[in-house]
Structure 1
Amino acid sequence: MGKGDKKTKRGKINRGTFGARRPRIKKKPSIEQKINVSDKAKAK
């Protein structure tokens, strides 16, 4: 179990791949996208 092991988190980091042990971190939508700034300006 180490850098050469395909099934471990450390092995995935070493290879630069993703999988069940090391899922991709999804980008959260920014605050500007959640609240449409242009829509808010029209409401006033």
Structure 2
Amino acid sequence: MGKGDKRTRRGKIFAGTYGKSRPKKKKKNTVSVENKN
């Protein structure tokens, strides 16, 4: 659990990959700055 763990969402963000815990589609819980207007 952490930045180095590729199975967690935080680790996927750190590694720049996508998967089950971090899907590519935008949802409510994304940390993207795109839909913050």
Bin for the TM-score computed over the shorter chain: 0.5 to 0.7
Q: Which has the higher contact order (CA 8 A, sep 6+)?
A: 2
4+ long deviations beyond 6 Å: none
Matched residues, number: 26
More helix by share: 1
Q: Unpaired runs of 5+ in structure 1? A: 27-44
Give the TM-score normalised by the residue count of structure 1: 0.55
Q: Unpaired runs of 5+ in structure 2? A: 27-37
How much is the aligned-residue C-alpha RMSD, in angstroms? 1.2
Question: Looking at CA atoms only, which structure, 1 or 2, has the larger radius of gyration?
Answer: 1
